[in-house]
């Protein structure tokens, strides 16, 4: 099967590409290699994928460029699209809200239109747990009201979900929307907490801790996320939204202790006030994904942090 993976050079995208190739599919990765973080990190991801010597092609391009997308879909008959490309991160979205709307909303419209015009019937799109905002009910369920986004990033992901439903309703596209919960593991973006804390603790530098350390996240290991993504490609849903998380919460103070133990070093804490746009907790109800996808996360945080630390040490040796 021919797959297009947007954001295919990034953290989650590169792992998805690898697993699709191992399953015998042909894969095209589409990514603009923007400087949100060092583009060489994405190029390294691409080299790892290319080392598999499987039917893989990489196209540099921007999802806000209609002409580039039209040319890509005209050149290849894609059977499925996995849309992971986006401007990511809550805090950066506070500084560049218009950019986040342009890439995450306009770019998603462009992709859906290109897919529709070329006859693609099945598309899997990445959303985020951030759409739940400050949700009084935990764990978060797909049926919860989601009209309380507290960051431009979350708002852009909400808009993407709405667009996915529009294209299903109007054009009969099979659409799965995946709400990812704090994904971590090898190749994780350097700006995300686990990678950032590991790097700073390893170097003996202070780590910024916003709040009193009691904020909690549902950290989900990359291999579990990929299994959920691939499960969506094997079924038809019409239109469905799925939480993909570990369904366990870890307080920030405990997360830091786990990283300290994995590195054998103590953290220097730089305590700072809570940041605008941050939520106090994320916690996934994954009963729907379990029932419909056979989704069953396997990597607990204790093991996952050890695996990440091993990867970090190896990649920075």
Q: Return the ∠ at Cα 104 (arms to 100 and 107), rounded to 5°.
A: 120
Strands (E), 148-229: 174-180, 183-184, 206-210, 216-217, 220-221
Please list the helix, strand and coil fractions of the chain in percent, rounded to the nearest 5, in that order.
45, 20, 35
Q: What gap in Å lies between CA 113 and CA 167, rounded to an integer?
A: 9
**216 bridge partner residues:** 251, 281
Q: What is the CA radius of gyration of the chain?
A: 19
Longest dimension (CA), the chain: 55
Q: Specify the pairing of strand 183-184 against strand 220-221.
A: parallel
DSSP letter at 129 equals G
Which tokens hold the place of 135?
A: 């949700």
Q: How far apart are CA 252 and CA 154, in angstroms?
A: 21
- Which active-site residues does the annotation give? 153
Rounded CA separation 119/122 (Å): 9
CA 59 to CA 301: how far, in whole Å? 35
**Parallel, antiparallel, or unpaired: how do β-strands 206-210 and 216-217 relate?**
unpaired
Residue pointed to by tokens 């080299």? 47
Q: What are the beta bridge partners of residue 207?
A: 269
């Amino acid at each position: 099967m021919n797959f297009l993976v947007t954001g295919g050079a990034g953290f989650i995208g590169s792992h998805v590409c690898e697993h699709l190739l191992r399953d015998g599919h042909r894969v095209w990765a589409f990514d603009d290699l923007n400087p949100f973080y060092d583009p060489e990190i994405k190029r390294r991801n691409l080299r790892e994928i290319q080392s598999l010597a499987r039917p893989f092609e990489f196209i540099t391009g921007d999802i806000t460029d209609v002409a580039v997308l039209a040319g890509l879909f005209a050149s290849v008959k894609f059977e499925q699209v996995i849309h992971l490309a986006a401007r990511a991160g809550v805090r950066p979205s506070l500084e560049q809200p218009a950019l986040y709307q342009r890439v995450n909303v306009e770019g998603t419209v462009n992709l859906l239109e290109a897919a529709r015009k070329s006859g693609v019937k099945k598309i899997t799109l990445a959303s985020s747990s951030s759409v739940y905002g400050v949700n009084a009910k935990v764990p978060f369920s797909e049926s919860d009201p989601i009209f309380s986004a507290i960051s431009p990033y979350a708002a852009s992901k909400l808009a993407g979900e709405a667009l996915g439903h529009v294209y299903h309703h109007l054009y009969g596209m099979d659409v799965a929307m995946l709400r990812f919960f704090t994904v971590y593991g090898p190749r994780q973006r350097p700006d995300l907490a686990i990678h950032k804390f590991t790097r700073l603790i390893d170097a003996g530098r202070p780590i910024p801790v916003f709040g009193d350390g009691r904020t909690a996240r549902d950290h989900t290991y990359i291999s579990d996320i990929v299994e959920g993504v691939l499960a969506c490609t094997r079924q038809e849903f019409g239109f469905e939204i799925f939480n993909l998380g570990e369904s366990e919460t870890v307080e920030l103070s405990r997360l830091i202790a786990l990283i300290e133990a994995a590195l054998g070093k103590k953290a220097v804490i730089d305590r700072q006030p809570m940041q605008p746009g941050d939520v106090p907790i994320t916690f996934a109800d994954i009963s729907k994904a379990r029932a419909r996808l056979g989704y069953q996360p396997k990597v607990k945080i204790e093991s996952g942090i050890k695996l990440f630390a091993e990867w970090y040490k190896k990649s920075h040796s």
